[in-house]
Amino acid sequence: MDLFIRYLAKTDCLPNRFPTKAYDLRIFYILDGDGEINLAGERYPLAKGSFCYCPTGTEYYPLTSKDNPLKFIVINFDLSHKNKHIQNFLTPIKSKKFNEKLGIFSQNDCELELFKEHFVIPNALFLEEILLNTEKEYKKNTIYANEIAESYLKCALLKLAEFKNQKGNHLYNKIINYISNNYKTIKSNDDVATALGYHSFYLSNVLQHHSGLTLHRYIKKFRLTKAAELLAFTDMPIAEITNEIGMDNSNHFCNIFSKEYGVSPSHYRNSIKII
Q: What are phi and psi of 122, to 5 degrees?
A: -70, -25
- pLDDT more than 90, % of the chain: 44
Which fold is adopted by the domain 217-274? Arc Repressor Mutant, subunit A (1.10.10)
Residue 196 and residue 179 in contact, taking contact as beta carbons nearer than 8 Å: no
**Whole-prediction pTM value?**
0.63
Q: Where in the chain is the domain with CATH 1.10.10.60?
A: 217-274
Q: Where in the chain is the domain with CATH 2.60.120?
A: 4-164
Q: What does DSSP say about strands 60-64 and 119-121: parallel, antiparallel, or unpaired?
A: unpaired
Residue 55 and residue 115 in contact, taking contact as beta carbons nearer than 8 Å: yes
Cα distances (angstroms) measured from residue 11 to each of 15, 33, 83, 99, 220? 9, 12, 26, 27, 45
Going by C-beta distance under 8 Å and a sequence separation of 6 or more, which residues neighbour residue 59?
Answer: 19, 20, 21, 38, 39, 40, 41, 95
The span from the CA of 167 to the CA of 181, in Å, is 21
The span from the CA of 156 to the CA of 11, in Å, is 19
Regions of the chain short of the pLDDT cut 70? 15-16, 168, 272-275
Q: Which CATH class is domain 4-164?
A: mainly beta
Give pLDDT, residue 2.
Answer: 82
Give pLDDT, residue 274.
Answer: 43
